[in-house]
Structure 1
């Protein structure tokens, strides 16, 4: 399904027209379960190195299945996937130590403390320096706000605290790629803001972050690139700055009493649709016309312009336009 998808080969870190190294790439990635359900269908994912890639869509759209295939937890029915230029799952032993991941609900030993759980994970990581394990463990706990609860048993943690410990586990050592599946699940607004800040901090340090969520408005604040899933298909992909321009822009003009009719005539004369009038404000789609041409035409017609605003649709509005469903839909 290619509707609405930008050319993957031309997805870059800036304008969306660059080609560059990719941290994550898939070609034709497909997962079909024995029941016949196709969870992921012919996926061509492109995550540029250094990007914060918002992998978005409703619950049940195929995001978690995709992530599990990327990490080698589930074998695809068809297609291929690469992480950091290495084929998965074949090169998993070599590439996964360079990848931090939080997938679905984190699982830890219930009767061990948060600190002890991280100690066990650090001990089995053959690529990490054991001499720095304690320092890295404590730094990870502090970064996710669990320093004061480090000695509490995992089974006593709230859902949000469990999610934070999962994040700490992914941060036990520096990673080139961080894959976070619904990282704000169970977190209160303050915790969500902290995760948002953490993602920005990691990206500024050079880590590529792929973060999946059904909360588009939250992730939109930090992502540089976006991929939107619907019913197992990638329906939209590219740099956020490019995607934000793909929807139909609208112009909103506010004038003064007695000039609404004249303003409407100007807009119609420019070939715009019949404007929606609300008091002294007129609203109409721009339809490719430069906004400055609209304002200039109003001034030439001696229409007082008290307010002039150009609005582009949010990513969520673009998603609804392409798929016909909102982000609270589960399938």
Structure 2
């Protein structure tokens, strides 16, 4: 796991794709005051943010993220699409090759010492001291935060309880399961109230119950006013908890906006079921009405509905003597939108 640094922590190691000692181009921040005025409603904003490794690979290609304050923003895309690299740049853990980024209205990485204490993060999987207990790890981590308020014990107890680790607090980290390690990483991000929480694959290694708990926790944090960015390659996480969505593919941000708006603007589909003898006739009726992309699969047909009313389709099929055994308008899902834009499904490792 790579975690956010407090101002007193050592600098992060180079990203695996960067050679040690590589000159790192950092964004040339604009003055903080104009950035705050222009992006006052955004918790995260980037302009043409780019990361190019020495090998020539462009991991992130000129993306413009806009994460509204108070939103739960689903950062969605297959493994290897550039999500984690983007998050590392946002938090100042690696330098950008070009472009600019702002967190909570302040330029990064220049304003990191002031901004990062207001940000909690879980990135790429936890890594703690294996011979220390979960509680002892959190105590050490909390002690590194010079800006943390007093009453450390109560704060740590609350964080452990929120992620379901209170009973395992004294167990050594090396004895934790993958799901317990992930929970401890979440507890570390929740040691104090945050204005912004960045979670990279937060349900990795969790069982279904743990996944539901993370979703509930994200909802509670959002209700309390925290902006949450959830990076994931799992569609269900995004659809269940997020108000806004950004879709990444091969380093590019191909779409972003309010979740409900993205699906409502997608093309409407029609599904029809008839008997085997009338499938071809049904396809002819749909084409005559102006429906496109008609596909026959046995006794079922699918087509793009366009502006045609499903009632008009039903009447035309009946008038043509086609038995209508089933007919429905299919509401596009996020997966439909993603596949239409990229031609690729989810859970694809690159």
TM-score > 0.5 by shorter chain: yes
Secondary structure of the corresponding residue to residue 138 of structure 2: helix
* Most deviating of 165-174 and 266-275: 266-275
Shift of 1:328: 2.8
Equivalent runs, 1:225-240 vs 2, <5 Å: 225-240=244-259
Shift of 1:283: 3.7
Q: CA RMSD in A?
A: 2.7
CA offset digits 1:159-179 (Å, max 9, x no partner): 111110000010111111100
From the superposition, tell whether residues 103 and 278 of structure 1 become closer, same or farther in structure 2 (CA, over 3 Å): closer
Counterpart of 1:5 in structure 2 is none
Unaligned runs of 5+ in 2: 1-38
* Most deviating of 253-262 and 115-124: 253-262
Counterpart of 1:105 in structure 2 is 125
Secondary structure of the corresponding residue to residue 244 of structure 1: helix
Equivalent residue for 2:167, pick from 113, 133, 148 = 148
CA offset digits 1:211-267 (Å, max 9, x no partner): 111112332211111111111111111111111134322123467999989976764
Equivalent residue for 1:27, pick from 42, 47, 50 = 47
Are 1:55 and 2:64 matched, yes or no? no
Secondary structure of the corresponding residue to residue 40 of structure 1: strand
Equivalent residue for 1:322, pick from 341, 345, 348 = 341
Query: Aligned partners of 1:30, 1:311: CA distance in 2, in Å?
Result: 37
Query: Aligned partners of 2:130, 2:335: CA distance in 1, in Å?
Result: 38
- Is residue 123–residue 130 contact of structure 1 (8 Å, CA) maintained in 2? no
Are 1:248 and 2:267 matched, yes or no? yes
Equivalenced residue count is 312
- Is residue 217–residue 316 contact of structure 1 (8 Å, CA) maintained in 2? no
Equivalent residue for 1:79, pick from 85, 96, 99 = 99
Q: Which is bigger in relative contact order (C-alpha 8 A, separation at least 6)? A: 1
TM-score computed with the length of structure 1 as normaliser? 0.84
Counterpart of 1:66 in structure 2 is 86
Query: Aligned partners of 1:23, 1:48: CA distance in 2, in Å?
Result: 6
- Is residue 20–residue 48 contact of structure 1 (8 Å, CA) maintained in 2? no
Unaligned runs of 5+ in 1: 1-18
Shift of 1:53: 0.8
